[in-house]
Amino acid sequence: MDMECIVHFTVGHDEGPKKLRGLIFVGEGEMPTGDQLLDMFGSMGFQVTPDPQDSQLFLPSGSDSTFTYIRVNELDIGQEKHVEDRNLKSVLNNLLQKNRFGL
């Protein structure tokens, strides 16, 4: 059974940061993959690449971008929330490392 994972993130703009949310469907007890995060951002009009130094940070991949960064703040999969901390950073690191060469 698929579950909703609400991704809370901040988009950096010249006029200031904006907090947004996105939705990814995952299997029960699963976390979203790095590819799912990139697809979600892409479907929202954000073409990004993961920052190699910070697993929670995504940088614009196009020169005509209207934003300077995206930072994942929280992954909400219902009962358990993964907020911006070492646990979230570890989860994102693992997801992105598995998918880094396939991006």
Q: How confident is the model at residue 2 (pLDDT cuts 50, 70, 90)?
A: confident
Q: Which two tokens stand for residue 56?
A: 């929670």
Measured in whole angstroms, the distance separating CA 14 from the mean position of its chain's CA atoms is 20
User: Per-residue b/e over 10-33, b at no fewer than 16 CB within 10 Å?
Assistant: bbbeeeeeeeeebebebeeeebbb
Residue 44 belongs to what domain range?
Answer: 2-102
pTM: 0.76
Highest mean pLDDT among 26-30, 42-46, 87-91: 42-46
Please tell me the predicted confidence (pLDDT) of residue 61. 93
Q: Over the chain, what is the mean pLDDT?
A: 85
pLDDT digits (tens, 9 = 90+) for 73-91: 999 987 655 555 666 677 7
How many domains, the chain? 1
